[in-house]
Amino acid sequence: MMKRTITIIMAASLLTACGMYKPYTRPEIRTDNLYGAEYSTTDTASVADLGWRELFSDEWLQRLIDTVLVHNTDLQVAQLRITEAEATLKAARLAYLPSFNLAPAGGTSSFDGAKASWTYSVSVTASWEVDIFSRLTNAKRRSRAALLQSEAYRDAVQTQLIAHVANYYYQLLSLDAQISVTEQAVERYREQVRITQALKEAGNANEAAVAQTEATLYAAETTLHDLQYSIRQTENSLTLLLGDIPHTIERGTLDAQSAPTELVIGIPLRLLSRRPDIRQSELALVQAYYATAEARAALYPSLTLSGSAGWTNSAGAIVANPGKLLLSAAGSLLQPVFNAGQNRARVKIARAQQEEVRLAFRQALLNAGVEVNNALTQVQTARAKTETRSEQLRSLERAVESTQLLMQHGSTTYLEVLTAQQTLLSARLSAISDRLSELQGVVSLYHALGGGI
């Protein structure tokens, strides 16, 4: 009996070693010109290779990122998911080992008034499922992919948080710069009100000119209140990310910010290993692949070996004292019969789900390519506008000076002066917007390439 059991175990182990299902291999994916033909490159270097401290040199911004990586609740939840996945993988690995159970039992009985007799047994039972058709192996591989996916999710949360913090920070600097420019405009409008009132007293302007100039001043002062409100909203959004109560954010200036002059993007294939959400998507495909294999394994027989060893004083109807050693071993082969149709349906479901995840993986890669293209275009467009915008500002400053002088000498109207001043203010605000667009484009590109891990 024991010899036959050992033979079964050796044969089963041989089948297990051979395995029936191959490990996952990545499907063929084309990444040629993923970023667009105009951005095609063979250079493997990428701006995403930079650590976030290298890209974001502002010390205030660095402190904010340090804080968010410690206190953000979403990142803490992501870390807990990793802990859960590690425990699941450990359970899947332990499934290879036999299970042991201690089963002590005892009782007393008496027949027809005779003296009661005490029987007992103290035994340890064991069972072991032999992984003939790789059901346990596929479950373990699926759990391993789930763990890696949890780690990729944590990385994705981290890169997203860094991008959000940087964008909010640059938005605050932009609002500060807009307030500064608007305050300068308010001073100019106040001066213009004084000039217009003096011209009215001299008979060179009327009440309409004074009223229009004052209205322009009040509109600019109202804009300052709106900008202050936007600052408070942005600070609140940032402190929420930091896991803190609302407070004023210490920060630098927009002019002090720097960005890499050359933005190298590397080859698109690197997204598969660097960008966390792409890795997440592929690892979901890995899990679906092994889930399909696991469902297919349920169509085949399962072999379970069991046995027990212990001490008992009950041998059938005979009570012996002292007790004797009890040993038993058995093997069972279970072949699905009545539920075979359900198992085949599960395989079809698993295959369909695997195809869904494969398509989602492909789409995630295409989305990443578009995001890189958009970010690059955003940065290049903002930089291209810089020189033209500078020329526009110089022209508008001359126009404001000229119209003010002409108005004082009666050669032009107050409307031309106001129009020149308002156009200059709008151009200055647009220049700030261009700078913000450039910085946020760099952040978007860094995030789209998988930087910040």
| Tokens matching residue 91 | 């359970």
Q: Per the domain annotation, does 2 fall within a domain?
A: no
One domain for residues 125 and 108: yes
Cα distance between residue 250 and residue 337, in whole Å: 70
Give the number of domains in the chain: 2
Cα 16 to chain centroid distance, Å, stands at: 38
Cα distance between residue 69 and residue 49, in whole Å: 19
Q: Reply yes or no on whether the pLDDT at 411 is more than 70.
A: no
- Of 213, 197, 201, 207, nearest to 417 by C-alpha is 213
pLDDT of residue 111: 60
User: Does residue 11 or residue 70 have the better pLDDT?
Assistant: 70
pLDDT of residue 401: 81
Q: Reply yes or no on whether the pLDDT at 68 is more than 60.
A: yes
Lowest mean pLDDT among 29-43, 73-87, 191-205, 311-325: 311-325
Cis bond upstream, residue 98 (ω within 30)? no
Q: Per the domain annotation, does 162 fall within a domain?
A: yes
Cα distance between residue 287 and residue 148, in whole Å: 10
Residues 325, 313: contact at Cβ < 8 Å? no
Residues 150, 84: contact at Cβ < 8 Å? yes
Question: What does each C-alpha distance from 127 to 3, 26, 113, 285 come to in angstroms?
Answer: 18, 37, 41, 33
Q: What percent of the chain has pLDDT over 70?
A: 80
H or E element: which one contains 308?
A: strand 302-315
**Angle (deg, nearest 10), helices 59-71 and 73-94:** 50
Q: Per the domain annotation, does 417 fall within a domain?
A: yes
Q: Per the domain annotation, does 178 fall within a domain?
A: yes
**Tell me: the pLDDT tens digits for 249-294?**
999 999 999 998 888 888 888 888 899 999 999 999 999 999 898 8
Domain that residue 50 falls in: 18-96+131-300+342-448
pLDDT of residue 387: 83
One domain for residues 410 and 435: yes
Report the amino acid identity of residue 286.
Answer: V
Q: Per the domain annotation, does 5 fall within a domain?
A: no
Average pLDDT estimate for 99-125: 67
| Tokens matching residue 360 | 């989602």
H or E element: which one contains 102?
A: strand 99-102
CATH value at residue 306: 2.20.200
Q: Per the domain annotation, does 12 fall within a domain?
A: no
User: Does residue 107 or residue 90 have the better pLDDT?
Assistant: 90
Q: What average pLDDT does the chain have?
A: 83
Q: Reply yes or no on whether the pLDDT at 205 is more than 80.
A: no
pLDDT of residue 225: 96
pLDDT of residue 202: 77
Q: Reply yes or no on whether the pLDDT at 27 is more than 50.
A: yes
One domain for residues 167 and 135: yes
Tell me the whole-structure pTM to 2 decimals: 0.82
One domain for residues 121 and 268: no
Residues 448, 161: contact at Cβ < 8 Å? no
One domain for residues 329 and 433: no
Positive or negative torsion for Cα 80, 86, 89, 93: negative
The 3-state DSSP composition of the chain as helix, strand, coil percent (nearest 5) reads 65, 10, 25
**Tell me: the pLDDT tens digits for 206-225?**
888 888 889 989 999 999 99
- Output DSSP code: residue 116: P
Q: What percent of the chain has pLDDT over 90?
A: 43
One domain for residues 65 and 84: yes
**Tell me: the pLDDT tens digits for 413-437?**
667 878 888 888 999 999 999 999 9
One domain for residues 263 and 162: yes
Lowest mean pLDDT among 3-17, 120-134, 307-321, 354-368: 3-17
pLDDT of residue 125: 73
Question: What does each C-alpha distance from 223 to 48, 124, 230, 253, 448 come to in angstroms?
Answer: 38, 81, 11, 20, 34
Task: Work out the pLDDT band at 2, boundaries 50, 70, 90.
Answer: very low
pLDDT of residue 71: 92
Cα distance between residue 209 and residue 308, in whole Å: 105
Q: Reply yes or no on whether the pLDDT at 6 is more than 70.
A: no
